[in-house]
Amino acid sequence: MVRQVKSWVRVVRHGETPETAADGPSEPSLAEVLLLSATIFTVHLVTVSCVTRFWEVIPCALDNPSYLEIARIIRHWHCPHPFDDPHFWGLPYALAGISKLFLISEPVALVLISMLASLAACVLVHRLYGGWVAMVFIFLNFQWIQLSVEGGSEPLFACLLYASFLAARSGRWSLAAALASLSTTVRPVGVFALVSFAAVLAWRKRYRQLAVITLIGLTVGVFYLLPLRTLAGNLFVNFTGYREDWGPTGNGCPLTYPFGALVPSYLLSLHSNNRWYMLVFYSAWLVGGCLGIAAVWLPRNRRWFSSHPSEALFASIYALFLLSYNYRDIAWFIPRFFIPVLPLSLYSLRDWIPRKRRLLWELALLSALVASAFTAVKWF
Q: Residue 251: pLDDT band by 50, 70, 90 thresholds?
A: low
- Angle in degrees, 0-180, between the axes of helices 90-102 and 64-76, rounded to the nearest 10: 60
Does residue 196 sit within a domain? no
The answer to whether 251 and 244 are in contact (CB under 8 A) is: yes
Q: Which residues of 15-50 are buried (b: 16+ CB within 10 A; e: fewer)?
A: eebbbbeeeeeebbeeebbbebbebbbebbbebbee
Sign of the dihedral through C-alpha 290, 291, 294, 296: negative
pLDDT digits (tens, 9 = 90+) for 112-160: 999 999 999 999 999 999 999 999 999 999 999 999 999 999 999 999 9
Please state the pTM of the whole predicted model.
Answer: 0.91
Average pLDDT over residues 189-218: 96
Which residues face 13 on adjacent strands?
2
Does residue 114 sit within a domain? no
pLDDT digits (tens, 9 = 90+) for 259-288: 888 888 888 777 676 577 777 888 888 899
Give the distance from CA 267 to its chain's centroid: 26
Does residue 296 sit within a domain? yes
The answer to whether 36 and 29 are in contact (CB under 8 A) is: no
Does residue 262 sit within a domain? yes
Biggest distance spanned by C-alpha atoms of the chain: 64
CA distances from 91 to 51, 55, 289 (A): 28, 19, 26
Does residue 335 sit within a domain? yes
Does residue 277 sit within a domain? yes
Does residue 47 sit within a domain? no
Total number of domains in the chain: 1
Higher model confidence: residue 16 or residue 254? 254
Q: State the residue range of the domain holding 273.
A: 247-348
In this predicted structure, the answer to whether residue 16 has a pLDDT above a threshold of 80 is no
Does residue 156 sit within a domain? no
Phi, psi of 274 (to 5 degrees): -85, -5
The answer to whether 109 and 68 are in contact (CB under 8 A) is: no
